[in-house]
Chain A
Amino acid sequence: MKKLISAATALILMGAVCMAAEPAVQQATFTVSVASVFELSIDQGFIDFGRMNPGETKWNMPPAGIMVQAKTNGGKPWHLKISNDSPFSSGSNVISNSNFSWYGWTSGSGKWYGTGENTVSITPALVYSSGSGEDNNLPEGTVNHMKFRLKVPANQAPGNYTTVVKFTMTE
């Protein structure tokens, strides 16, 4: 009889233990996609050298310079290049790229390639390579300042000449 009571007590106690502390649990997965930023912007998209005489050279265009701002959080070194799709042209007349050059300065910590006499070319040429800490330069980004010089050859045919200058940011 003692054994019987003992066994029954043990079973009831087991039941009590099982009832006591069974927490209720739910889980949820949280996700977020942090956006990739790789942006290049310029503060003005139209540069007018105005009326120029044959043989004339114009520096300092535009007077305030063009601000070229590069932003990235890609974590990799990057480069800024410059080119134009074709030289200044007006119909069939062309001002050779040898008369069109760029110069400027950087506010970044990387390498500036402007020597003062860099001609614009159809092949993209290096303007700037990122420096320390610029592989993630948000939010301000890195700003480079560009100016242009154009010489109109003495024998240039009159006309309205245009060219499209392209800035390219690459990793």
Chain B
Amino acid sequence: MISLGLRKLVCVGMITAALHPLAYAAPIQLTLEGIPSIDFGEVQPGSRKDLNEINGYHTSAKIESSENSVWSLYIKADDLLTSGPNTIAGNNFRWATWYAGFYKTGGSGSTDWYHRRAGLANLGTEISFIPLDNKLVYTSGASDDYPAFNDINHNGGYTEVQFQFILDIPYSQAPGDYATTITYTVTQ
């Protein structure tokens, strides 16, 4: 009896463990496309630089969800743009989103691409990077044009959120090479 019970236990345990890798891999994936590395280049004091060279954006976040659970995209800067002891004040470094859409098959029949600007938390507004402040960028939901169709679970498709970046260099800014790390996070 004991021997039979142990065998069942081992059997259940193995099945559960085998499910783990599948569960980790699939629920939601995030990749950066367009121009993921962001180099503003050399900027003169007192000038502004916009990075939006790919049809109005610079980087796109591509999200693939296979879960029936609403997900959200966040962005944050780990620190101010920094060069040794010098920093560029946070309100000079900003991001903006003007467009989001998703690809999903089996919908309206006329297209597999759907606009979803309604998911953008700050459509068309320049938002300052405040260090460690995780700002909501986008939340999955119904298409702008076909409300019955959503990007909560793509079923093989994906959502694209397009970012542009803006940098103002004050006249008083000390010269130097400044850098920081930007983190994109998707949670369900």
Q: Do these two chains really belong together in a complex?
A: yes
Q: Does A21 contact B (CB under 8 A)?
A: yes
Q: Does B176 contact A (CB under 8 A)?
A: yes
**B38 and A21: CB pair below 8 A?**
no
Q: Does A164 contact B (CB under 8 A)?
A: no
Q: Does B137 contact A (CB under 8 A)?
A: no
Q: Does A19 contact B (CB under 8 A)?
A: yes
Q: Does B118 contact A (CB under 8 A)?
A: no
Interface 0/1 of A63-98, CB less than 8 Å to B: 000000000011100000000000000000000000
**B8 and A4: CB pair below 8 A?**
yes
Interface 0/1 of A1-21, CB less than 8 Å to B: 101100110011011001101
- Least CB distance, B155 to chain A, in whole angstroms: 17
Interface 0/1 of A21-41, CB less than 8 Å to B: 111111111111111110000
**B38 and A14: CB pair below 8 A?**
no
Interface 0/1 of B168-188, CB less than 8 Å to A: 010111111111111111111
Q: Does B146 contact A (CB under 8 A)?
A: no
Q: Which residues of chain B have C-beta atoms less than 8 A from A25's C-beta?
A: 30, 183-186
CA distance A24 to B77 in the complex (A): 16
- We find that the number of chain B residues with CB closer than 8 angstroms to chain A is 58
Q: Does A50 contact B (CB under 8 A)?
A: no
Q: Does B13 contact A (CB under 8 A)?
A: yes
Q: Which residues of chain B have C-beta atoms less than 8 A from A26's C-beta?
A: 30-32, 36, 61, 183-184
- We find that the number of chain A residues with CB closer than 8 angstroms to chain B is 34
Q: Which residues of chain B have C-beta atoms less than 8 A from A138's C-beta?
A: 45-46, 171-172
Q: Does A136 contact B (CB under 8 A)?
A: yes
CA distance A22 to B69 in the complex (A): 13
Q: Which residues A29-59 have CB closer than 8 A to chain B?
A: 29-37
Q: Which residues A119-163 have CB closer than 8 A to chain B?
A: 136, 138-139
- CB-nearest residue of chain B to A138: B171
Q: Which residues of chain B have C-beta atoms less than 8 A from A75's C-beta?
A: 174
**B13 and A11: CB pair below 8 A?**
yes
**B30 and A74: CB pair below 8 A?**
no
**A136 and B174: CB pair below 8 A?**
yes
- CB-nearest residue of chain A to B7: A4
Interface 0/1 of B122-137, CB less than 8 Å to A: 0000000000000000
**B188 and A21: CB pair below 8 A?**
yes
Q: Which of A1, A25, A34, A37 has the most CB of B within 10 A?
A: A34
**Contacts A31-B179, A73-B172, A139-B46 known; 4 new A-B pairs at CB < 8 A:** A25-B186, A30-B180, A32-B43, A33-B178
Chain A residues proximal to chain B, CB less than 8 Å: 1, 3-4, 7-8, 11-12, 14-15, 18-19, 21-37, 73-75, 136, 138-139
